[in-house]
């Protein structure tokens, strides 16, 4: 839902962030999916400093200019770094627990869903780190995403985001693909998280390759430029309104 937020009982990642913030340690944050083997997010990485960030994230911070919106900010790690460098930053997240942690860390954090049309402040830069575009869920919501971007960006503003082309997961050695093309875009994934006894609800998460991202950006009146390639099919993109 457009304006929905996450209550603590349904928010494994928020609980993990709250525990780590309070105690300097957390239990296992498990990630399940119908498409992948079970995985884990090391909670300490959600609190990474600038030095611990990937080259892509460091570049995202360097390219940020003007009033900046950190979307799906989590523990607020990027907001904290940007703020320490003198940027004016607002962080939004749907997690009540994460927003409370960010406020304690001195971040101007709001319990706000990106798709909430009543959120109408304006920004020069929107950052979406750790595959933040994932919150769009499926490619058929890209149009809605760009509508939000138009609402939130000042003239000359930019979106900085990182994502990955996950086709390597489905690719055979001979280059053929083990995917059902009729089933939709291959980067549409479902996830579900668990932390202690808290089970989150399953949610859609989108990984989008650079060409597909450009296609949707162009269709919706935006320009898309690659700023950096990562080490493993990941990349940093800059999206801005066509002049
Ligand atoms: N950017 C952070 C955290 C990434 S995890 C980092 O790089 O460490 C993704 C975050 O997005 C979670 O905290 C989740 O609560 C938040 N989120 C999910 N859907 C959202 C939405 N529609 N609007 C705003 N935040 C959202």
Ligand 1 pocket residue status of 31, Cβ below 6 Å? no
Q: Is residue 101 part of a domain?
A: yes
Specify the number of domains making up the chain: 1
Q: Is the pTM of this model over 0.85?
A: yes
Domain extent, residue 234, equals 52-186+207-241
Question: Does residue 58 sit within a domain?
Answer: yes
Residues in CB range of 115: below 8 A, 6 or more apart: 2, 3, 144, 148
Is ligand 1 within 6 A of the CB of residue 217? no
Q: Which residue ranges in the chain fall short of pLDDT 50?
A: none
Q: Tell me the three-class secondary structure of 144-179, residue by residue.
A: HHHHHHHHHEEEEEEEEEEEECHHHHCECCCCCECC
- 35 within domain boundaries: no
pLDDT tens string 94-146: 999 999 999 999 999 999 999 999 999 999 999 999 999 999 999 999 999 99
In a domain, 21, yes or no: no
Cβ of 135 less than 6 Å from ligand 1: yes
* pLDDT given at position 81: 98
Please indicate, yes or no, if residue 6 is contained in any of the structural domains: no
Residue 5, domain member (yes or no): no
- Residue 184: predicted pLDDT: 86
CATH number at residue 158: 3.40.50.150
116 CA from centroid of ligand 1 (Å) = 14
Residue minimizing CA distance to atom 21 of ligand 1 = 113
Cβ of 107 less than 6 Å from ligand 1: no
Residue 183: per-residue pLDDT: 77
Is residue 11 in some structural domain? no
Q: Is residue 221 part of a domain?
A: yes
């Amino acid at each position: 839902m457009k304006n929905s937020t996450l209550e603590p009982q349904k928010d494994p990642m928020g609980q993990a962030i709250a525990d780590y913030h309070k105690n300097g340690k957390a239990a296992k944050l498990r990630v399940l999916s119908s498409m992948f083997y079970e995985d884990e997010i090391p909670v300490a990485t959600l609190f990474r400093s600038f030095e611990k960030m990937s080259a892509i994230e460091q570049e995202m911070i360097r390219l940020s200019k003007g009033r900046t919106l950190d979307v799906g900010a989590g523990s607020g790690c990027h907001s904290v770094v940007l703020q320490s460098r003198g940027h004016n930053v607002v962080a939004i997240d749907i997690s009540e627990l994460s927003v409370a942690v960010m406020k304690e860390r001195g971040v101007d954090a709001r319990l706000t869903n990106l798709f909430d049309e009543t959120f109408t402040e304006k920004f020069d830069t929107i950052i979406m780190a750790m595959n933040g575009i994932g919150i769009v869920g499926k490619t058929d919501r890209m149009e809605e995403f760009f509508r939000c971007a138009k609402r939130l960006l000042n003239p000359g503003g930019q979106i900085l985001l990182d994502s990955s082309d996950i086709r390597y997961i489905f690719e055979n050695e001979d280059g053929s693909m083990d995917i059902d093309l009729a089933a939709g875009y291959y980067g549409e994934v479902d996830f579900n998280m668990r932390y202690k006894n808290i089970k989150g609800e399953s949610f859609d998460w989108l990984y989008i390759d650079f060409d597909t991202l450009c296609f949707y950006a162009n269709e919706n009146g935006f320009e898309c430029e690659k700023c950096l390639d990562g080490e493993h099919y990941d990349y940093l993109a800059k999206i801005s309104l066509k002049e």
